[in-house]
Structure 1
């Protein structure tokens, strides 16, 4: 799912060797056990991925709106859900932004789809369901929109509502395209109008990823 230049590490449990820096411990001091385990393991994944880039271990503290603060020269994204944690990183000289998300492969709770989608997106999902009824397309849409936001926010520092990205899907190719409906974003000095990414529904999970590489 990832292009050359991006490094990833995933985990399906919470390894005993996963530990936190003191600064991270302070940030999570009041969290319940479930949140603490997710927070710890996903940072363990991120530091292992950073090590593959030759970047030494460092605290990864939550910043504005909870977005992780990466060391200088590193671009990355983290995600976790029940039974799965993952991190993707890349060198800032090669990668513009990364957004990843993982979700359980099951239908969204009642009423959520209407809140996170545009009418034309819901029409597309109905058509996709006739092509492949085994995929929970509402959950795929939700995951991909989460990845869009995670890729958008580091570039803009601005909120992006669910209805401010219009998504289309290639069911056979496992790709998606996001048309951004909020003006003002920029990437490499040009207006930020779209993202492309990949999605996968397998083994009980939906995973989506956007990795935008720098133009050469």
Structure 2
């Protein structure tokens, strides 16, 4: 699925389920007290990350969560990981080409009651209602939640500051693209991304290219 959203200079890897792997000591220490589900997610998504890094010609290295929960990538690499029930994925690129990127996977199901109101703006809820009337087979509320997660994962490495759900406004196009306007003062005005849905999962991705120099 993820390869359908992202192409060169980004490389990807995914798993539908879990994979067994030996963690580096630093990684194992990070989940020493985690429950089994968390340990399986943590391990399997790092299998994806090592496969993706290998496709860039990079050796495997420890990928330890930083203070924001995202892994500390090797020098010269930007990346993003995601996992949900039944799916794990990673996307990486060389930082000379891509400034930041974010991916997110979710189950293709409506959000639990009350969550949509907590993560959307009034204008977004009106937008989702129009989309749902035209395309009722898509869980648009969950897709918007996912898009904001991808936006956040792209935003944070660029700015080093949090971004609330109410500080970005997302609008989807039926062609599989979306735009996100940043509603606070920021070094970037917004992001563009891509989305897709399948029978069991949905995915969103944002790639913010490195500005050209000349």
How far did 1:14 drift? 1.2
> 3-state DSSP class of the match of 2:158?
helix
Matched, 1:85 2:81: no
Q: What is the Cα deviation at residue 162 of structure 1?
A: 0.3
In structure 2, what is the equivalent of residue 44 of structure 1? 47
Residue 19 of structure 2 contacts residue 43 of structure 2 at CA under 8 Å; is this kept in 1?
no
Measured in 2, the distance between the counterparts of 1:162 and 1:30 equals 30
Residue in 1 aligned with 2:184? 182
> Cα offset for 1:203?
2.7
Q: When the two structures are aligned, how many residues end up with a matched partner?
A: 208
Counterpart residue number, 1:139:
142
Runs of 4 or more off by more than 4 Å in structure 1?
none
Q: Which residue matches 2:195?
A: 199
Q: Please list every run of 5 or more consecutive structure 1 residues that lacks an aligned counterpart in the other structure.
A: 185-190
**Residue pair 1:98, 1:210 contacting (<8 A) in 2 also:** yes
SS at match of 1:66: coil
Question: Does residue 99 of structure 2 align to residue 96 of structure 1?
Answer: yes
Quote the Cα distance in structure 2 between the aligned partners of 1:74 and 1:153.
15
1:19, 1:44 within 8 Å by CA — same for their partners in 2?
no
**Separation (CA, whole Å) in 2 of partners of 1:78 and 1:12:** 14
Displacement of 1:130 in angstroms is 1.1
- Paired with 1:81 and 1:175, the residues of 2 have a C-alpha distance of 22
**CA deviations over 1:28-58 (Å, ceiling 9, x no partner):** 1000000000000101100110011111110
What TM-score, normalized to structure 2?
Answer: 0.95
CA RMSD, 1 decimal: 0.8
Deviation at 1:131, TM superposition (A): 1.0
Alpha-carbon offset, residue 115 of structure 1: 0.3
Match of 2:113 in 1: 110
8 A contact 2:179–2:191 mirrored in 1? yes
Structure 1: how far apart are the matches of 2:28 and 2:122? 43
CA distance in 2, matches of 1:45, 1:214: 24
Deviations 1:174-194 (A, max 9, x none): 01000001213xxxxxx2110
1:15 aligns with 19
